[in-house]
Chain A
Amino acid sequence: NAGVTQTPKFQVLKTGQSMTLQCAQDMNHNSMYWYRQDPGMGLRLIYYSASEGTTDKGEVPNGYNVSRLNKREFSLRLESAAPSQTSVYFCASSEGVGSSYEQYFGPGTRLTVT
């Protein structure tokens, strides 16, 4: 049981380049999330998908787009990378939306934009 997987683990981009971060979960979870983690700021929600076919903005959506490809997969796209997007990106999933649901996290993607 792999849980939540993310690719790639590391990426270096030049300003203006684009890329897609991939995330997949094998727990049959309905809800999926993308966070970014910056020093001293905890995790901030970029986008989430409460269920297959739906996506919504989180706290810091500017500069990102997402696709919920199917129940398993939720990708995050940077159309034109900026140095301010240098961060560690985490994908997470949960059974559903609701205050008692635990989130399961992937190992993260460390992105550097030069």
Chain B
Amino acid sequence: GNSVTQMEGPVTLSEEAFLTINCTYTATGYPSLFWYVQYPGEGLQLLLKATKADDKGSNKGFEATYRKETTSFHLEKGSVQVSDSAVYFCALSGPGGFKTIFGAGTRLFVKA
């Protein structure tokens, strides 16, 4: 079945550091891939998405590239801010796929 594996946290970085959160997936067919972010006390919100191989999703300085050859969708940001402290979820949705599969989430702490 479909699954998503993302790196365990927490990840602690200093402000302006480079961020990578790894995400790999297993899926049949050609899923769409998502990164969602959850700020403290809130629900999840979409950060970025990619719907086909080699697509790059980007938003608020975050980027992720859909790599079919390595079944990965790693999240990157060049310079994190304290306000980026949150939990980040990688997710996939298969063809016809209302059943979105979420990873376990990676908590990011950014220190000033």
Contact = CB atoms under 8 A, between A and B. Distances in A.
A99 B44 contact: no
B102 interface: yes
Contacts of A103: 44, 46, 100
Contacts of B103: 42
A99 B43 contact: no
Given A98-B96, A102-B46, A105-B43, A42 B102 contact: yes
A48 B49 contact: no
A55 B102 CA distance: 21
Chain A interface size, as a band, is 20 to 34
Contacts of A43: 44, 89, 102
B98 A40 contact: no
B104 interface: yes
Nearest to B32: A99
Given A43-B44, A102-B49, 11 more contacts: A43-B102, A48-B99, A58-B99, A90-B44, A92-B44, A97-B97, A99-B32, A103-B46, A103-B100, A104-B46, A108-B42
The 8 closest A-B pairs by CB, nearest first: A105-B43, A97-B98, A99-B32, A42-B102, A43-B102, A99-B93, A99-B97, A42-B104
